[in-house]
Amino acid sequence: MRNIPMNNGICENYEQKQGLILVIFFTNISPTECNTHFPSKIQHMYTVSPITKTMHTRTCQLITRQILPFQRASTPHRHHHLLPPPSASVSATAPLKARKTHSLPAEKQEIFKLMEPWASEWVLPLLKPVDQCWQPQTFLPDSSLPFEEFSDQVKALRERTKELADEYFVVLVGDMVTEDALPTYQTMINNLDGVKDDCGTSPSPWAVWTRAWTAEENRHGDLLRTYLYLSGRVDMAKVEKTVHYLIGAGMDPGTENNPYLGFVYTSFQERATFVAHGNTARLAKEGGDPVLARLCGTIAADEKRHENAYSRIVEKLLEVDPTGAMMAIGDMMEKKITMPAHLMYDGEDPRLFEHYSAVAQRMGVYTADDYADILEFLVGRWRLEKIEGLTGEGKRAQDYVCALAPRIRKLQERADERARKMKKPHSVKFSWIFNKELVL
Ligand SMILES: [Fe+2]
Ligand SMILES: [Fe+2]
C-alpha cells in the first residue's frame, strides 16, 4: 500500500491507466486517517457516504490487492490534470513535483504590502461601480410583469433556444457549473499569502479587489443558471447536484498559497474563460439566439477586464522582481494550468469533466489550441522574451516558457494524429441533458 500526501482531507492522486483518469478524493476522512489512494471506481462511495476508519482501511486493503497492481511504482505525486482539454494528451512538462504550501518567503510577501498604493491606482480602477454593472435581470424575462407578459417572454426564450444543439447545452452547463463553484475560487485567492482578506472586510486593495471581483463573478453563474432553467433544455436537478459536488470537492490549482503563482494562474484562467464565453456567444448567435449571444459576450467582457487586472499584477511583479516572477510563470506552466472545475461530478459519470471537455473541444469552445494561444498571448503581453536582469534560474525559466507554446502545438498534433488512428468514436450519456447520448 502506498502512502500519498494528504492535505485538507483530500487524498490527492491522479493515476492514468488506459486513458482513464482516476480522481481520488475524500471529503469526510481526516488527513491522518487516509494515507492510501483509490481508483475512481470507488471514489464517489466516499464522497457521498460517511465512512469509518475501519471501513476505509479494509477497503484500502481490498482495493490495493484487487485493483491497484497496475499502478506505477513511482514516487507519490500531486494532481496531474489533463487539461488543456482532456482529449489532448499533451505532456510538455517535467515530472510533477510533490505539493508545496506557503512557498513564498515572508520577505517576499512584503512586496505585496509595498505594492498596495500601486494596486489601488492600477488594479482597483478595473472594477466597475455597481450602479454601472449589468445584473442577470438585464437579460432575463421580467417576473415583475403581469403573468401573461412574463410567460410570453419565457416562451420567446424557449423559441430562441430550441434550435441549439444538445452539445451546445452540455458546454453551456459545464461553463455554468464552473462559474457557480465561485466559493472555491474566492477561497483559493484568500489562501494566497500577502494578499488575503484577513478579516472579511479588510481595506487592503488586494482584499477590496477580491471581494468585488467575487461579486462581479457571482452574476455569471446566476445568469447562466437562470437562463438554462428557463430554457427547459437541461435537467436542472442534475446540474444543481453537479454544482453541489463540485463545491464540496474544491480544486487544487498548484498555487502553493503563493501570490506569484496565484496571479499567474488567474491571468491564464480569466483569459481562458474569456475565450470560452466568447465562443459560446458566437455559437448562440449562429444557432439563432441573439440574447444568449449577447449575455455570453457580456460575461466574456467581464472576464477580459479581470484578465487585464491579473495580468497587470504579474507585469508589475516582473518589473519589481523579474527572476521571481519569471520563475513563477515557468513553474505554473510546467505544472500545466488546471481547469477550475476539474473535479466535477454529477453522481453518475466519474469522467464527467473529461467528457464535458471533449465536447467543448469538438464544439471549438475551448480547445488544446486555445491553451497554446493563451500562453503565447501572455508571453507577448508580458514581453517575456525581452525581460532582462534575470539570474541563471530566471533565464532558464524564460527560455522554457518562451519556447513552450510551439512545443505544445507540436506534441498536440502528434497526439491528435495518434488518437485519430486509434480511437473509435464512442457515445456518452450526459445526465445534464436527460441522459441523451452524444458521440465523442
Ligand atoms: Fe466568470
Ligand atoms: Fe472571471
Q: For the ranges 24-33, 209-218, 269-278, which has the lowest average pLDDT?
A: 24-33
What separation in Å is there between the alpha carbon of 417 and the centre of ligand 2?
33
pLDDT of residue 415: 86
Distance of CA 303 from the midpoint of ligand 2 (Å):
4
State how far the alpha carbon of 209 is from the alpha carbons of 116, 121, 205, 235, 376, in Å: 11, 12, 6, 35, 27
Q: Note whether 338 and 254 are within 8 A (CB).
A: yes
Cell output for 86: 482532456
The pLDDT assigned to 98 comes to: 59
The helix/strand/coil state of 309 is helix
Spacing, Cα 175 to ligand 1 middle (Å): 9
Of 13-17, 250-254, 376-380, least confident by mean pLDDT is 13-17
Residue 41 has pLDDT above 90, yes or no: no
Residue range 81-96: mean pLDDT, rounded: 35
Please tell me the distance between residue 114's alpha carbon and the centre of ligand 1 in angstroms.
29
Q: How far apart are CA 358 and CA 86, in angstroms?
A: 7
pLDDT tens-digit map of 133-144: 999 999 999 999
- Please tell me the distance from the alpha carbon of residue 69 to that of residue 382, in angstroms, as a whole number: 46
How much distance in Å is there from the Cα of 272 to the middle of ligand 2?
9
For residue 372, how far is its CA from the centre of ligand 2 (angstroms)? 19
Q: Are 191 and 257 in contact (CB under 8 A)?
A: yes
Average pLDDT over residues 259-276: 98
Eight-class DSSP state of 145: S
pLDDT of 3 above 70: no
Q: Residues near 97 by Cβ (< 8 Å), separated by ≥ 6?
A: 77, 78, 335
User: Could you report the per-residue pLDDT of 51-88, keeping only the tens digit for each?
Assistant: 333 333 333 333 322 222 222 223 333 333 333 333 33
Question: Going by C-beta distance under 8 Å and a sequence separation of 6 or more, which residues neighbour residue 138?
Answer: none
Decide which of 424 and 17 is more confident.
424
pTM for the structure as a whole: 0.79
* 415-426 average pLDDT score: 83
Q: Per-residue pLDDT averaged across 163-169, rounded? A: 98
Residues known to be catalytic: 134, 179, 217, 220, 270, 273, 302-303, 306
How close is the Cα of 296 to the center of ligand 2, in Å? 12
Q: What percent of the chain has pLDDT over 90?
A: 74
What span, in angstroms and rounded, lies between the C-alpha atoms of 365 and 360? 5
Q: Is the pLDDT of residue 91 over 70?
A: no
Q: State the ligand closest to the CA atom of 270.
A: 2
User: d(Cα 116, Cα 97) in Å, to the nearest integer?
Assistant: 32
Q: What is the pLDDT of residues 185-241, one digit of tens each?
A: 999 999 999 999 999 999 999 999 999 999 999 999 999 999 999 999 999 999 999
- How close is the Cα of 181 to the center of ligand 2, in Å? 12
Question: For residue 217, which ligand has an atom nearest its CA?
Answer: 1
Whether 168 contacts 160, CB under 8 Å = no
**Residues with Cβ–ion distance below 5 A, ligand 2:** 270, 273, 303, 306
**Which pLDDT score, from 0 to 100, does residue 321 have?**
97
Would you state the pLDDT for residue 234? 98
| Residue 66: per-residue pLDDT | 27
Q: What is the pLDDT of residues 293-352, one digit of tens each?
A: 999 999 999 999 999 999 999 999 999 999 999 999 999 999 999 999 999 999 999 999
Mean pLDDT of the chain: 82
What pLDDT digit, counting tens, does each position of 246-267 carry? 999 999 899 999 999 999 999 9
What was the pLDDT predicted at 405? 97
CA 174 to chain centre: 11
